[in-house]
Structure 1
Amino acid sequence: MIYPQNFEQKIGFDQIRQLLKLKCLSTLGEERVTEMSFSDDYEEIDEILNQVTEFVRIIQEEDGFPDQFFFDVRPSLKRVRIEGMYLDEQELFDLRRSLETIRDIVRFLQRSEEDDESTIPYPSLKRLAGDIAVFPQLIGKIDSILNKYGKIKDNASSELSRIRRELASTMGGISRTLNSILRSAQSEGYVDKDVAPAMRDGRLVIPVAPGLKRKIKGIVHDESSSGKTVFIEPAEVVEANNRVRELEGEERREIIRILVEFSNLLRPSIPEILQSYEFLAEIDFIRAKSHFAIQTNSLKPALENEQLLDWTMAVHPLLQLSLARHNKKVVPLDIELHQQQRILIISGPNAGGKSVCLKTVGLLQYMLQCGLLVPMHERSHMGIFSHIFIDIGDEQSIEDDLSTYSSHLTNMKMMMKSCDERSLILIDEFGGGTEPQIGGAIAEAVLKRFNDKKTFGVITTHYQNLKHFAEDHAGVVNGAMLYDRHMMQALFQLQIGNPGSSFAVEIARKIGLPEDVIADASNLVGSEYINADKYLQDIVRDKRYWEGKRQSIRQREKQMEDTIERYQKEMEELQKSRKEIIRKAKEEAEHLLQESNARIENTIRTIKEAQADKEKTRLVRQELSNFRTAMDEQTSKEVEDKIAQKMQRLQEKQNRKKEKKSVDNPTVLQQKAPKIVPIAVNDYVKLKGQTTVGQVLEINGKNAVVAFGSIKTTVKTDRLERSNVSPQKQEPAKSTFVSTQTHDQMYEKKLNFKQDIDVRGMRGDEALQAVTYFIDDAILVGMDRVRILHGTGTGILRSIIRQYLDTVSGVRHFADEHVQFGGAGITVVDLA
């Protein structure tokens, strides 16, 4: 229940409605704004607020929401329900585009089909779209009738196609005849050279000067407004123009027949289509509410199924928009009402913000229960009320013979009769409008009834007896609108716990009232009252001071909590990073292992080709084993180094806050970092932490090609360090010998070797290993050319294989196969 009838006007909600209508895309949404009403159903309010919250996310995070065509074709559909009626071209075009929009919105909201709602991006909106029918067959049928510009297609029917072909042919004949007549008339001087055929009453005519109109045989159809031109239809085209008229009539009749036929097809589906338009109206309404929420920085607070006001930084949205136009900000409102503190008595100076506070409470509570998000801090809590009553402003009525006070009493009577523990009452200047003493007494008696009924409320007053009542009765609490006594200006801040002073003496003195008048007034009231008011001001001032201190302490505690939480998160991320580093290190180790295996195979091939003896083979295998051990140790060391670096960065970040910048202390000397000489070609180097010495053959950016004995490998330069000892040179083998068995095995392998390998469908590492063995064998048996089938796909497999081929010295050249034989899906490799 909402009281009185002009409740929305009193709190400014009628202006909210107007702003929402401006944000609607069609009359569909505007009707919903008009129908929007107050509800006290917790489940309904919660669902509506969730819908708006989800749509705010769509606006802020999504780019592809389909909101292009919101057309209200419901009147046309209702008209077509009558047999024989039909939609015209424009109505049909609007129907097609809006049906497409409904279909696209339903698809957008039902993108996730999982049963678990936690995985659905917009569950409340999805439920809204759950039973909505879409009409792909109707859309397809309309597409067969209309083109993309909303005009009837030539091929909408065979008869229409015939009519339009004949019409085009006839019009072309008329145009050619007219142009011939026109050129003849121009050559004979009857018509100016720049004249062209014109259209009058749907017939092609020639503009001629009045004095020469008899030079061209035909019918005069029109005359220009100046009288200097007449429009003649030559006799040669009269019959053709008549035929054009007939064909245009046939065309109109055929178009109507097509539209009637479609409307007959549409008629059985109209009830379901109208239901889908109700959904479109709801989406337009939700969209408007969401844009208004974004404009006013509104959100959904924690909603409680009880009577409660626990608001932080609440803002009057209309006042916020008004002040924003002048680059000003609203002072936010903090207010708390609950079962033990239900009625708030607000006192303070005039123009101090009491009425604004009252209207803010009424407007925000009403907005929430009408399904609108509200501008306040996210940690706020809001409850649900079954009734909201308001008594604010001057309600004099000449017709009802009511004075201001009489109207207030009428409102009080209505409130006392209807209010209960689920009601919220809002009263401005309680007890005002009559003689103060009796007015205050009646107000106190009414306040007692409200408190006995456990009603919630916000009441503004200047009466001292109501302030005392709040101090002496449980359930009622005082509040003050703060005032800067030194600056003599209102602060527009509400403070709950103490009554406010009216600052009447101070304001009178600021205005310039004579001091003797102020002194007489003070004597009339009595020093006790004046002193009590001063004590009250001092209490409020001291409370403000300590409240500021407490707020400052809270902010510092919050900063400390945030800092601790941030460091805890960083530690957790560090642990995750440690696991990730180990995982990557294992992958690198696996890659190195594969590289080592490939090198072993290459070494075996080299040994066999060079016909090395057993001692040489043993030495080479030993070098490979040392290399593999060095790689494993280096990988483990890298893992530990990365973890240590992460720990060091975190420690430095923590210490940075404690240290002063070196520029602030002139005595601090900056130490110069030793100059690092980069590693160059021919330098003797070794892996950090290892003893095996190699020689740098090439430098490629951050990578170096190093020869460790007879093994060449590519190593990052930051993993190398210089060595003062050169590697021991191995004496070349003095003789070679290849057994008959080896010759036979090589011959058999060459006979069975296939020049193609197919790695399609393999993972990258599997394919690389297979290609490695394949190329090694191809070199070993002396093949000149081989082919690798990797397919096109995303191109990753092709890229990995070609990167490997670039590193193989035995590969002379590689390229795509000829387009006729496979193109980019096959790599042809020429071997040295």
Structure 2
Amino acid sequence: MLYPKNLEEKINFTKIRELLKEACSGPLGIDFVNKMSFSKDPNLIGKLLDQTDEFKKIIESGELFPSSNFTNIYPYLEKVKIEGTFLYEDEFHEIRLSLFTLSRCIDFFGEHEEEYPNLFQLLGLVNLDNTILREIERIIDEKGKIRNNASQELSLIRSQILYEENRLRKVLDRIFREAKAKGLTPEDASVTIRGGRMVIPVLAENKRKIKGFIHDESATGQTVFLEPAEVLDINNELKDLEYMERREIQKILTKLTDKLRPAIPELKRAYHFLGMVDFIRAKAKFAIKTKSIKPTLVKTKQMDWHNARHPLLEAALAHAGKKIVPLDLQLDHNRRLLVISGPNAGGKSVTLKTVAMVQYMLQCGLLVPLENHSVCTLFDNFFIDIGDEQNIENDLSTYSSHLMSMKYFTQFADKKTILFIDEFGTGTEPQFGGAIAEGILLALNNLGAYGVITTHYGNLKQVSAKNQGLVNGAMRYDVDKLEPLYQLDIGKPGSSFALEIASKIGISKDIIGYAKDQIGEERVRYDKMLNKLENQVRKYEQSIQESQKKERLLDQRMKEYTQLKETIDLNKKKYLQEAKAEAQALLAGVNKKIETTIRTIKESKADKEVAKQVRTEIEELKLEVKPEKKIVHDAVIKVIGGEIEIGDFVRVKDNGAVGEVLAVRKKEVEVSIGELKSTVKLNRLEKISNTEMKKEKKSYSKRIGFDTNAKMMDFSPNLDIRGKRGEEILPVVQSFVDDGYMLGLKDLRIVHGKGNGILRDLTRNLLRGMSQVNKVEDEHADRGGAGVTLITLKS
């Protein structure tokens, strides 16, 4: 049972029908859209949902499926019923194309029975083979014309027509050439057709010079179109042949129509199937467009919806570049009637219409815009009271019309009813309207009905909090900004925020104070409590979101740490194994050499020359296995005395870095070391002269000279600076990049760790100022992430 009669217009379901019609390929599917209706049969709804879901999978899979020629041939079949009538060539052509589409649909479902069982079952509607299609294809060609070999008589007639046309063309061409040579025709003229007969154009002043019949003249009257007497008989013969051809075609089409007549019942069922397929595909296309799914259907009256969206509102917002706020809804036998309160323009009516639209779509067999794990149920009755139903003809006011609806609801609602009431109780004096609304709400609750109700009345909020079966709902509101969030919060009532909104708009404090006195202290406290609760809920949710964000970040860092540790442990084992293998090979070589030496000494019986030679070889072996030492000759810098001031040049005692003093603050000094600024304790610095500074730079320039081959053997593209102080890394990083650049390397890697990010920032600031560096970025998360800097050098 549906109420009122214009329910679909009220919830704007008519727009859904229009969108489905647009998705259909032909009038057959559109007819099914028009017939689509509300159903309470769970088996039927389940079957419709399964069919649409299967077709949705076909579209998403990209499999080829017929998409054209879903033609409505019912008018042709009505014509065929009459004995002696026949269908024209173009009508048979349309039937031929649609029968071919039908055949392809049948073949597709027959080949995919296991994948799409519910769609395969539709083939039970079809009891039609390809006999009719083959018969039509034998007569009608791909262009929709009668084939020459449709009958023996037609073949002979058309052959004769072709012969006479060629003979006519030859005679006319000869006559036209002679006339043109005599100057009787226009210069750019040619043989043409007038009134279905072949003629030649002749200048009007020469029309008496050629015997024949004038059929037409040009717009200016300067040219006439003349049929020469010599071709008159040939044209007459062609006309007779054309009449014969027409009669033969009519005879062929009549026979073909007679063959179609007995198959009318099977054809109607087959095209019923074809229309249903087009309709189901339209529903599937609409489901994909609206991101709709097949929910879980249960017999118990339970609604557990997640991320419900109004399809029309979502499309409108998307067109405006906005996103819809999805809705979560939970109703069951303990919480059947949801009473939503909150400020104006806060989304109460939109929430109500969203629930109504989604439920109605479901019970019309459409997939619905919910999350996959949503649970739905079906209702026998669907009642709605939305908007102004003022009726001038029946002399009903807005409030009276609402009361008429409420009368109907209380008479016919039961446990299988879902109802929707917008702005419950409004339209009359609030004191009386609220009391009547309260009585109606309790009556509907006693009847066991389900539904969604929106209101501003405080007494309805209180009743909903005290009675089982009723539950309050609030539209979330940003108390600080006084802006709606369009989120439904079930379990607590919402405030209208009337005083807060009035204050924000700029209504005077005296007026607001007077309003508070009129409302009463208890009601004001109640509203304040709701505001406070709303604020606390919002802050609590923000805290939860921040906590969850930190937990996700912590999990990510732990994962990175674990992966990095595993990588280090793996490399450590690898390097140890390589070192052990190398050491073992080296030890084996040394032992072998010593054994050979001992054997040589014994065999030579301690000959001095031989022993001397053997000792020389052993010394050479020692040099081979001895680790190389890196020798660096630092220039000795003379230190001068005196107090360190801004502009002086200084050297760091423990690492030798030199720089210029930028600022002095008590026991700390800010020093510019190259392009790096660093703060160093005063007792770690010693003052040097300008001359010594120049010497240090020259000395540094000399120290960077190196043997390319030797440096290539010693150089590693990985630099570890973990544990170093900020001022220590300048010469190290500078030298590392210079060496890599001069060796022609493309990629370098610096390990500085994560920590507080100080070393990383210092290192990257320094690198970005180097002309040799092309790019600086984080290492892959599996190999250290932000704790390692990858350097790409310029080529």
Aligned partner of residue 124 in structure 2, secondary structure = coil
CA contact (8 A) 1:204 1:233 kept: yes
2:485 paired residue among 484, 488, 491: 491
SS in 2 for 1:658: helix
Q: Are positions 1:65 and 2:54 aligned together?
A: no
Cα distance in 2, alignment partners of residues 103 and 657 from structure 1: 62
TM-score (norm 2): 0.70
Tell me if the contact between 2:26 and 2:69 (Cα under 8 Å) persists in the aligned partners. Answer: no
Counting only pairs closer than 5 Å after superposition, residues 271-290 of structure 1 correspond to structure 2 as: 271-290=265-284
Give CA deviations for 1:1-34 in whole Å, capped at 9, x if unaligned: 1110110011110000011111111111111111
Instruction: State the shift of 1:134 in Å.
Output: 2.9
Structure 1 residue 542 displacement after superposition? 2.0
Partner of 2:509: 515
Match of 1:230 in 2: 224
Contact 1:501–1:533 (Cα < 8 Å) also in 2? yes
Residues 559 and 279 from structure 1, CA distance in 2 versus in 1: closer, same or farther, beyond 3 angstroms?
farther
8 Å CA contact retained: 2:125, 2:270: no
Unaligned runs of at least 5 residues, structure 1: 114-119, 564-652, 676-832
How large is the Cα RMSD of the aligned pairs? 2.7
Partner of 1:398: 392
Q: Which structure would you say has the larger Rg?
A: 2
Percent identity among equivalent residues?
46
SS in 1 for 2:481: coil
Q: 1:662 to 1:137 in 2, by over 3 A?
A: closer
The 8 Å contact of residues 381 and 416 in structure 2, kept in 1 or not, is answered as yes
State TM-score, norm by structure 1: 0.66
Equivalent residue number for residue 524 of structure 1: 518
For residues 615-764 of structure 1, what are the structure 2 equivalents within 5 Å?
656=560, 658-659=562-563
Shift of 1:229: 2.3
Give how far 1:524 is off: 1.8
Distance 2:352 2:92 in 1: 51
State the distance in 1 between where 2:290 and 2:7 align.
22
- The one-letter code matched in structure 1 to 2:388 is D
Q: 2:290·2:369 contact (CA, 8 Å) conserved in 1?
A: yes
**2:401 — aligned with what?**
407
Secondary structure of 1:439's counterpart equals helix
Asked if structure 2 preserves the Cα contact closer than 8 Å seen for 1:425 and 1:458, the reply is yes
Matches within 5 A, 1:295-374: 295-374=289-368
Higher mean C-alpha displacement, 546-555 vs 488-497:
546-555
Question: Which residue type is aligned with residue 391 of structure 2?
Answer: S
Q: Which amino acid in 2 is paired with 1:335?
A: L
Contact 1:354 1:481 in 2 (8 A): yes
* Contact 1:49/1:300 (8 A) holds in 2: yes
1:445 is paired with a residue of what secondary structure?
Answer: helix
**Matches of 1:458 and 1:103, distance apart in 2:** 48
Distance 2:360 2:297 in 1: 14
Shift of 1:673: 12
From 237, 240, 249, give the equivalent of 1:255.
249
Q: State how far apart, in whole Å, the 1-side matches of 2:552 and 2:47 are.
A: 33
2:202 counterpart residue number? 208
Residue correspondence of structure 1 range 481-630 to structure 2 within 5 A: 481-547=475-541
The code of the aligned residue for 1:149 comes to K
1:209 Cα offset (Å):
2.2
**Partner of 2:493: helix, strand, or coil?**
coil
Give 2:287's aligned residue.
293
Maintained 8 Å contact 1:498/1:540: no
Q: Secondary structure at the match of 2:226?
A: strand
- Asked whether 1:31 is paired with 2:31, we answer yes
Report if the CA contact (8 A) 2:125-2:273 is conserved.
no
1:84 has 2:84 as partner: yes
Matched, 1:155 2:153: no
Aligned to 1:493, what secondary structure does the other structure show?
strand
Once residues 214 and 59 of structure 1 are traced to their aligned partners in structure 2, the CA distance between those partners, rounded to angstroms, is: 72
Match of 1:127 among 121, 131, 134: 121
Of 190, 197, 220, the match for 2:214: 220
Per-residue Cα deviation, 1:457-504 (whole angstroms, up to 9, x for no partner): 100000010000011000100000011121121111100010000000
Task: Give the aligned partner of residue 619 of structure 2.
Answer: none
Q: Distance in 2 between matches of 1:150 and 1:544?
A: 70
Which string of whole-angstrom CA distances, capped at 9 and with x for unpartnered residues, describes residues 419-466 of structure 1?
A: 100000100010000000110000000001100011001000000100
Q: Work out the number of aligned pairs and report it.
A: 577
CA distance in 2, matches of 1:434, 1:88: 67
Q: Distance in 2 between matches of 1:371 and 1:27?
A: 20
Structure-1 residue corresponding to 2:236: 242
Counterpart contact for 1:308–1:384, Cα < 8 Å: no
Question: Cα distance 1:553–1:388, how it changes in 2: closer, same or farther (>3 A)?
Answer: farther
**Shift of residue 249, structure 1, vs aligned partner:** 1.1
Q: CA deviation at 1:225?
A: 2.6
CA distance in 2, matches of 1:672, 1:326: 63
1:247-285 deviation line (CA, Å, top 9, x unaligned):
111111111100100111111111111110000010011
What's the offset of the Cα at 1:659? 4.6
Question: Counterparts of 2:69 and 2:576 in 1: how far apart (Å)?
Answer: 68
Which secondary structure state, in structure 2, belongs to the residue aligned with residue 130 of structure 1? helix
Aligned residues of 2:125 and 2:269 also touching (Cα < 8 A)? no
1:435 aligns with 2:429: yes
- TM-superposed CA distance for 1:320, in Å, is 0.7
The amino acid that maps onto 2:29 is: G
The alpha-carbon deviation at position 224 of structure 1 amounts to 2.2
User: Secondary structure at the residue paired with 2:252?
Assistant: helix
Q: What amino acid is aligned across from residue 39 of structure 1 in structure 2?
A: S
**Helix, strand or coil at the partner of 1:164:** helix
Q: CA deviation at 1:541?
A: 2.4
In structure 1, C-alpha distance between the alignment counterparts of 2:551 and 2:470, rounded to whole Å: 32
1:167 to partner: Cα distance: 0.6
Residues in 1 aligned to 2:254 and 2:558: alpha-carbon distance in whole angstroms: 79
What is the CA-CA distance between 1:523 and the residue it aligns to? 2.0
Whether 1:93 and 2:93 are equivalent positions in the alignment is yes
Distance (whole Å) between structure 2 residues aligned to residue 283 and residue 555 of structure 1: 48
1:66 Cα shift? 2.1
In 2, are the aligned partners of 1:348 and 1:462 still within 8 Å (CA)? Answer: yes
Pair 1:177 & 2:81 matched: no
Given that 1:217 and 1:235 are in contact with CA atoms closer than 8 Å, whether structure 2 keeps it comes out as: yes
Task: Tell me the alpha carbon deviations over residues 129-176 of structure 1, each in whole angstroms, 9 at most, x when there is no partner.
Answer: 234123311111111101121110000000000110011111111111
Cα shift readout 1:769-790 (whole Å, capped 9, x = no counterpart): xxxxxxxxxxxxxxxxxxxxxx
Please tell me the residue identity of whatever aligns with 1:658.
Answer: T
1:50 corresponds to 2:44: no
State the shift of 1:517 in Å: 1.6
Q: Distance in 2 between matches of 1:536 and 1:17?
A: 41
Which is worse superposed, 457-466 or 237-246?
Answer: 237-246
Return closer, same or farther for 1:378/1:78 CA change in 2, 3 Å cut-off: same
Q: What is the distance in 2 between the residues matched to 1:37 and 1:433?
A: 33
Q: What amino acid is the match of 2:447?
A: K
Greater Cα shift, 312-321 or 174-183: 174-183
Partner SS for 1:377: coil
Partner of 1:730: none
Question: Tell me, what secondary structure is at the counterpart of 1:329?
Answer: coil
Structure 2 CA distance for partners of 1:321 and 1:514, relative to 1, 3 Å:
same
Please report how far the alpha carbon of residue 245 of structure 1 lies from its aligned counterpart in structure 2 after TM superposition: 1.2
Does structure 1 residue 444 correspond to structure 2 residue 348? no
- Quote the Cα distance in structure 1 between the aligned partners of 2:226 and 2:421: 82
Q: Give the superposition deviation at 1:304.
A: 1.3
Name the CA shift for 1:221/1:42 in 2 (closer, same or farther; >3 Å). same
Deviations 1:382-440 (A, max 9, x none): 10011110101011111010100000000000111111000001000100000001100
* Unmatched tracts of structure 2, length 5 or more: 580-795
Give, in whole Å, the separation in 1 of the partners of 2:174 and 2:577.
Answer: 96
State whether structure 2 residue 461 is matched by structure 1 residue 480.
no
**Is the contact made by 1:367 and 1:373 (CA closer than 8 Å) also made in structure 2?**
yes
Cα gap change, 1:52/1:552 in structure 2, threshold over 3 Å: closer, same or farther?
farther
Deviations 1:51-71 (A, max 9, x none): 000000001103321233211
The answer as to whether partners of 1:427 and 1:459 remain within 8 angstroms in 2 is yes
Q: Answer whether contact 2:479 2:534 (CA < 8 A) is retained.
A: no
